[in-house]
A and B are shown apart, each in its own frame.
Chain A
Amino acid sequence: GENVEQHPSTLSVQEGDSAVIKCTYSDSASNYFPWYKQELGKRPQLIIDIRSNVGEKKDQRIAVTLNKTAKHFSLHITETQPEDSAVYFCAASNEAGTALIFGKGTTLSVSS
C-alpha cells in the first residue's frame, strides 16, 4: 500500500524567511496530493492541493511542486509570518482513491 514520508519533522525559521517541507510517496498510482495545516487543538485545514497532471501550483505565499518521476512533492511557504506556525501534513491518495495516507507532520515555528 501507499507510504508517505515527510521531512523535516521540525523546522524553525525567522519571520520573513522561506520554509520548505518535503514528502515522498511510494505508490505511482497516487494522483492527488493535499497539504493540511493543523494548529494546536484544532482541526486540519486544507491549504493547497495538487493533482498528478500538474507540476506546480501557487496560492499567494504558498506553493506546491510535484515530481511524479521521483515520487516527491514539496510545500513552499515564502515570507513566513508567526501565524504560519503550526503542524503541516502532506498526504497522498491511496490506489483506490478512497482515502488519504498522511505523513507524520512537520512542526513549523516562525519566530519574530
Chain B
Amino acid sequence: GAGVSQSPSNKVTEKGKDVELRCDPISGHTALYWYRQSLGQGLEFLIYFQGNSAPDKSGLPSDRFSAERTGGSVSTLTIQRTQQEDSAVYLCASSSGAGGPRPQHFGDGTRLSIL
C-alpha cells in the first residue's frame, strides 16, 4: 500500500488479556516506530527498529510490552496482561534510510480499550 497500515483499527478487550497490534510500514522504509497517544495527550515514544539493528526499547513502559519486526518489514506490538491504563491509541510510523532523523509517516493507529 501507499501508506503505513495498522490493524486492527479498534480493539476492545478485558483487563488481563493479551493483545497484538500490527503495523505494515511503507514499502522500502527501513525504520519503524511505535508511539502511544493517550486521550488529549501528545505522542509517547515506545520502540524503534532500524533494519537488522537491535531495537531501541527505551520507551517501553513496562515488561508487559514487547515488539518484534520480522523480515525487516511488518511489526507486531504485544501487550500482555493488559491494564486499564493501557487504553490509548497506538500509532506506528515509518521512515526511510538511516544515519539520522528522517520524516516519519504515521498510520491511522489502533484504538485500544481495556474494560
Residues of chain A touching chain B, judged by Cβ–Cβ distance below 8 Å, are 6, 31-32, 34, 36, 42-46, 49, 89, 91, 93-94, 96-105
A94 and B45 within 8 A (CB):
yes
B25 interfacial by beta-carbon distance below 8 Å = no
Of the candidates A96, A100, A104, A105, which one forms a contact with B104 in the assembled complex, judged by CB atoms under 8 Å apart?
Answer: A100
Question: 1/0 per position for B40-62, CB-CB distance to A under 8 A?
Answer: 11111100101000001011000
Can you identify 30 A-B contacts, CB atoms within 8 angstroms? A6-B42, A31-B101, A32-B101, A36-B106, A43-B107, A43-B108, A43-B109, A44-B43, A45-B106, A46-B104, A46-B105, A49-B103, A93-B101, A97-B100, A97-B101, A99-B33, A99-B58, A99-B59, A100-B33, A100-B43, A100-B45, A100-B104, A101-B45, A102-B35, A102-B42, A102-B43, A102-B44, A104-B41, A104-B42, A105-B42
